[in-house]
Chains A and B, each alone.
Chain A
Amino acid sequence: DTAVSQTPKYLVTQMGNDKSIKCEQNLGHDTMYWYKQDSKKFLKIMFSYNNKELIINETVPNRFSPKSPDKAHLNLHINSLELGDSAVYFCASSQTRNTDTQYFGPGTRLTVL
């Protein structure tokens, strides 16, 4: 069984479009994260939610809006996509906000044309 799953795995879209990426974890964890990995493999945290509450909000354009309908799901909506948004987006979860180990999803490769 997949612990942290993301859909879609690949997303190709035009500049200016709006798209969403979904993440679900079946580990019973309280905390979920979104990371962006650029073409140089640099991994940077974007957001973190703990029990549906936003706890980390890095310097990210407000075109990016996370939504957590329940603690098992954390979706990422991106408005007005730009070329620079092309990256691999990883969802992760941890048991609590203070727990060491994060479990990562397989990633969503977003390509903006």
Chain B
Amino acid sequence: AQSVTQLGSHVSVSEGALVLLRCNYSSSVPPYLFWYVQYPNQGLQLLLKYTSAATLVKGINGFEAEFKKSETSFHLTKPSAHMSDAAEYFCAVRGGYQKVTFGTGTKLQVIP
């Protein structure tokens, strides 16, 4: 069994501030972890993924995430928020050959 919990359905940050979106996972086997972004009225786009290589994963648009097995976490960060980062962000997990399970999403608001 596998699951994902995203802490905070809404996060607001000022433009230029640090972005931190939290994700904790549960998986009975070593997981693959993903962050997807969904802009308004669009489909999901892969930001980055962890597949058991380096624990610090760099993605597109300046985002990165760190896999911490001891904390079962895969938080998404970006040093400086941009207005164009405003979107819905989804964490997802796949354990082994199971289907991908998505979290409930975190809506990021960037305040000018």
Interface of B is mostly: strand
User: Is B99's CB under 8 angstroms from A45's CB?
Assistant: yes
Is B80 an interface position by the 8 A CB rule?
Answer: no
User: Is B43's CB under 8 angstroms from A106's CB?
Assistant: yes
Q: Which of A4, A40, A42 contacts B43 (CB 8 A)?
A: A4
By CB atoms of chain B within 10 A, which of A41, A97, A105 has the most? A41
Is A56 an interface position by the 8 A CB rule?
Answer: yes
Expressed in whole angstroms, the Cα–Cα distance for A106 and B97 within the complex equals 26
User: Is A100's CB under 8 angstroms from B32's CB?
Assistant: yes
Q: Which residues of B contact A42 (CB under 8 A)?
A: 102, 104-105
Number of B residues with CB within 8 Å of any CB on chain A: 23
Is A107 an interface position by the 8 A CB rule?
Answer: yes
Min CB–CB distance A24 → chain B (angstroms): 14
Is B49 an interface position by the 8 A CB rule?
Answer: yes
Expressed in whole angstroms, the Cα–Cα distance for A85 and B88 within the complex equals 22
Q: Which residues of A contact B14 (CB under 8 A)?
A: none
Min CB–CB distance A88 → chain B (angstroms): 9
Q: Which of B36, B43, B88 contacts A105 (CB 8 A)?
A: B43
**Interface of chain B residues 53 through 112 with chain A (CB within 8 A):** 88, 90, 94, 97, 99-102, 104-105, 107
User: Is B51's CB under 8 angstroms from A100's CB?
Assistant: yes
Min CB–CB distance B91 → chain A (angstroms): 11
Closest to A4 in B: B43
User: Is B43's CB under 8 angstroms from A90's CB?
Assistant: yes
Expressed in whole angstroms, the Cα–Cα distance for A44 and B102 within the complex equals 7
Closest to A56 in B: B99
Interface contacts beyond A42-B102, A104-B43: sample of 7 additional A-B pairs, CB < 8 Å, sorted by A: A4-B43, A43-B105, A44-B102, A45-B100, A100-B51, A106-B42, A107-B43
Binding site for B on A (CB under 8 A): 4, 40-45, 48, 56, 90, 92, 97-98, 100-107
**18 examples of A-B residue contacts, CB within 8 angstroms:** A4-B43, A40-B104, A41-B38, A41-B104, A43-B102, A45-B99, A45-B101, A92-B43, A97-B97, A100-B34, A100-B49, A100-B51, A101-B34, A101-B46, A104-B44, A105-B43, A106-B41, A107-B43
